[in-house]
Amino acid sequence: MHNRFKLTVILLFSLIFVVACSNNGSTEPSQNKRETQTPSENEELIISAAASLKDAMDVIQHTYEEEHPGITLKFNFGASGSLQQQISQGAPVDLFFSAADDKFDLLVKEGIIANEDGLDLLGNELVLVVPKENQSIKGFEDLVKESTGKISIGTPETVPAGKYTKESLKQMNLWKDVESKIVYAKDVRQVLSYVETGNIDAGIVYKTDALISNKIKVVSNADPATHSPIIYPVGIIKDSQHYEVAKDFYLYLQSDEALKVFEKYGFTIK
């Protein structure tokens, strides 16, 4: 009798153990299934963008991340030529937003950006800026005067604004006379900073950069006919680890909501 009771207890505990294991096994697949249904959660996009885009992109970033709480946008701002070289050398980037179509086209030719995943989105203008208190420089022709000191532009080889500036000054027959006065900068924001601090008598930047500063004034606009068209192309890196999310943000940049932000900051829409 005692042995029969002992056997019954053992069988009962064995049954409970089997049922418990069965229940655990049945819940795990459904949990795994729920996890695989949300692959876009906590994804980070890396966007390499021209320095002149920073203020507009700060606004767009805030709005986009609010509407897409699982996505984080990480920006690398700089000169388009330097950014292009980084991407060509394998830097982990999902989108490239350039201030020059020639830098962008190099990545297309290298097969890093597909033709169908890029477009010309924005335009800009070149302007001559001086410190607010400067009264002696009223136009490009004043740059050649002996009284005019240092002039800052972006390095033409890597900074599109510098390349456009050099073209424009050559077309105006001013380059030879001002070349010795030039202080080169790593990007347009550095040019702007030089002028704001008064360390430089004049600088040539994009109109969009001039609009964000209250320490400088625009004294002249460069004639668009004196330089190559200023075009801002944007595209998805073909080998992006987050291609679908990158495509969504790429399309968002073309939306009315985003384009209104770009226009507010002085860009023209292509």
The answer to whether 187 and 209 have CB atoms below 8 angstroms apart is no
Tell how strand 113-123 and strand 268-269 pair up. Answer: antiparallel
The answer to whether 201 and 137 have CB atoms below 8 angstroms apart is yes
Q: What DSSP state is assigned to residue 5? A: H
Q: Which residue has tokens 């972006």?
A: 154
210 is in an annotated binding site: no
* Structure token digits, residue 4: 């029969």
188 is in an annotated binding site: yes
18 is in an annotated binding site: no
First-to-last C-alpha distance (Å) of the chain: 94
Q: What residue ranges in 18-163 does DSSP mark as E strands?
A: 43-50, 71-78, 95-97, 113-123, 126-131, 151-154
232 is in an annotated binding site: no
Spell out the long-range contacts of 16-21 with Cβ–Cβ below 8 A and sequence spacing 24 or more: none
14 is in an annotated binding site: no
Full DSSP string of 178-212: HGGGEEEESSHHHHHHHHHTTSSSEEEEEHHHHTT
d(CA 101, CA 109): 12
Coarse DSSP helix, strand, coil percentages of the chain, rounded to the nearest 5 percent: 50, 25, 30
Detail the residues annotated as belonging to a binding site.
52, 80, 161, 188, 206
Detail the residues annotated as belonging to a binding site for molybdate.
52, 80, 161, 188, 206
